[in-house]
């Protein structure tokens, strides 16, 4: 696992993973580094420090309790006091109320892909909030961010004390180093970094762009399958957790950047935070390859609700209602007979943020581009654009089976109504002509003489 068992290696081709979702894992970079029979012995193997990280309260029911034990060269508390980061990133928000730099807007919104900046920007500085709801302080809500970065994080690590990150790269791979080990995440894959984990993001392909969903006060889990049964959608075995990997080096001036209440703080230390030689637990970062998703679909008539494509969900206390669902629209066969196959027109009590990783989206022929985004807020009507609708009905009922290929779109869907950041509303990448895609929808209503007679008779009889 490592080129140098003492100093640690940095070979990006050497990535090893453990398989499973929600398991209790164990991993050690040196043999015997994990204590046996107890979590916190007086003297740990190799003279390591024992440190626990808890993702839930101590008294959370066992089936939901999340924690891990780290065995590290130096404990994470060994740093100078936190100070406000200068410069800060004022585009990151974690509070969504009338006093925050956000506003409400029911209009259907769409953004063109944001260009990679010319000035140096790593993952932290390239992160910006599009919308969100709730409060990180109240431990309930979410934020949806996007990022554009052109440089790796240098001599610093990021820690989000506010919530979990679900990272969706759209352009350029990410090499994410965490306290549990390293993840290589390509476009078409996702990574989940739980609340409180320290991590760094390197860019092996140069500039990178993508999406981030952040949830406050809860964690992602696999959705229940109900009548589907035991198999289908995202399989637990396809979720990959990093194996232990560590650095034991001197890093004068190393900086921990902590996001706390939406603000950024820094603390200096003289060692790498990635000095965990061994660990065990179920509170871990992980990744998932979206191509592994096993979609289910209509096999006779009508269009299934998008919930059938849920990869991960962050539930609320109300059964069946999500704080945030992560839903994908992968390649799949369309076979429904006598059916309008693209998504139907609808208004939804849930709010929907969509992104496109690659290819096109079946309901938007023009304007919705990879790296772009759209927001259809609570009860704002939406559906296929004019070209998609006209092309679909022109094919008639004898179109036969058709496979959607070379695409991967996704949706963050929430029961909470998001407030939109002023930066997003004032962005030069906001598509002010988005509404035009529906303006061309015309009436196809026809009434023949027989229908008129029947209608008049029915009206008279009533």
- Spell out a b/e string for 278-287, using b for 16 or more CB atoms within 10 Å of the CB, else e: bbbbbbbbbb
Q: Could you give the CA distance from residue 327 to residue 362 in angstroms, rounded to a whole number? A: 15
Q: Any idea which residue has 């060269």 for tokens?
A: 73
**111 within 8 A of 128, measured Cβ to Cβ:** no
Residue found under tokens 């209509």 = 298
Please give the Cα distance from 298 to 296 (Å, whole number). Answer: 7
Structure token pair of residue 452: 């008129």
The closest alpha carbon to 355, from 124, 174, 188, belongs to 188
Rounded CA separation 126/123 (Å)? 5
Q: How many residues are present in the chain?
A: 462
Alpha-carbon span 420 to 371, nearest angstrom:
18
Report angle CA 153, 156, 162 to the nearest 5 degrees. Answer: 95
Among the options 24, 219, 303, 444, which is catalytic?
A: 303
- Do the strands 322-329 and 181-185 form a parallel or antiparallel pair, or are they unpaired? unpaired
Pair of tokens at residue 139:
């431990």
User: Is 352 labelled a binding residue?
Assistant: yes
Question: Per the annotation, does 382 bind a ligand?
Answer: yes
Q: Among 203, 195, 408, 208, which Cα is nearest to 289's?
A: 408
Ligand-binding site membership of 95 (annotated): no
Active-site residue flag, 303 = yes
Question: CA angle, 458 as apex, 457 and 462 as ends, to 5°?
Answer: 115
Query: Around 177, how many Cα atoms within 13 Å sit in the side-chain half-sphere?
Result: 25
358 annotated among ligand-binding-site residues: no
CB half-sphere exposure, 163, CA atoms < 13 A: 34
Q: Which residues are designated catalytic?
A: 303
- List residues forming the annotated binding site for homogentisate: 346, 361, 382
- List residues forming the annotated binding site: 346, 352, 361, 382
């Amino acid at each position: 696992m490592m080129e140098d068992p003492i100093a640690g290696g940095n070979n990006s081709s050497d990535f090893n993973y453990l398989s499973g979702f929600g398991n209790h894992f164990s991993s050690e970079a040196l043999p015997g580094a994990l204590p046996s029979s107890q979590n916190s012995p007086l003297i740990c193997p190799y003279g390591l420090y024992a440190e626990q990280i808890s993702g839930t309260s101590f008294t959370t029911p066992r089936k939901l309790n999340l924690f891990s034990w780290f065995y590290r060269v130096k404990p994470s508390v060994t740093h100078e006091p936190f100070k406000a980061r200068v410069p800060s990133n004022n585009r990151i928000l974690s509070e969504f109320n009338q006093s925050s730099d956000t506003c409400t807007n029911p209009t259907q919104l769409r953004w063109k892909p944001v260009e990679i900046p010319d000035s140096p920007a790593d993952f932290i500085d390239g992160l910006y909030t599009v919308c969100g709801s709730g409060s990180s302080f109240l431990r309930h809500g979410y934020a949806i961010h996007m990022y554009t970065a052109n440089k790796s994080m240098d001599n610093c690590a990021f820690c989000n004390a506010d919530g979990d990150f679900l990272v969706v790269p759209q352009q350029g791979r990410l090499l994410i180093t965490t306290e549990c080990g390293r993840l290589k995440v390509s476009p078409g894959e996702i990574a989940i970094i739980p609340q409180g984990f320290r991590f760094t993001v390197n860019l092996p392909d140069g500039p990178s762009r993508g999406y981030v969903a952040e949830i406050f006060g809860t964690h992602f889990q696999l959705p229940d399958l109900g009548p589907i049964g035991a198999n289908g959608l995202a399989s637990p075995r396809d979720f990959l957790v990093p194996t232990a990997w560590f650095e034991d080096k001197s890093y004068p001036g190393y900086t921990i950047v902590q996001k706390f209440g939406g603000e950024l703080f820094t603390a200096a230390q003289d060692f790498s935070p990635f000095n965990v030689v061994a660990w065990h637990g179920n509170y871990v970062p992980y990744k998932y390859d979206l191509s592994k998703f096993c979609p289910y679909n209509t096999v006779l008539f009508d269009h299934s609700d998008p919930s059938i494509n849920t990869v991960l969900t962050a539930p609320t206390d109300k059964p069946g209602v999500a704080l945030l669902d992560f839903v994908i629209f992968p390649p799949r066969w369309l076979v429904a007979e006598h059916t309008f196959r693209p998504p139907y027109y609808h208004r939804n009590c849930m709010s929907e943020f969509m992104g496109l990783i690659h290819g096109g989206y079946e309901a938007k022929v023009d304007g919705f581009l990879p790296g772009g985004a759209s927001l259809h807020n609570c009860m704002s009507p939406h559906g296929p654009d004019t070209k998609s609708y006209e092309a679909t009905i022109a094919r008639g009922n004898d179109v036969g089976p058709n496979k959607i290929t070379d695409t991967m779109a996704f949706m963050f869907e929430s029961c909470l109504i998001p407030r939109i950041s002023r930066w997003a509303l004032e962005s030069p990448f906001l598509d002010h002509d988005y509404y035009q895609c529906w303006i061309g929808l015309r009436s196809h209503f026809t009434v023949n003489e027989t229908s008129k007679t029947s209608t008049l008779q029915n009206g008279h009889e009533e």
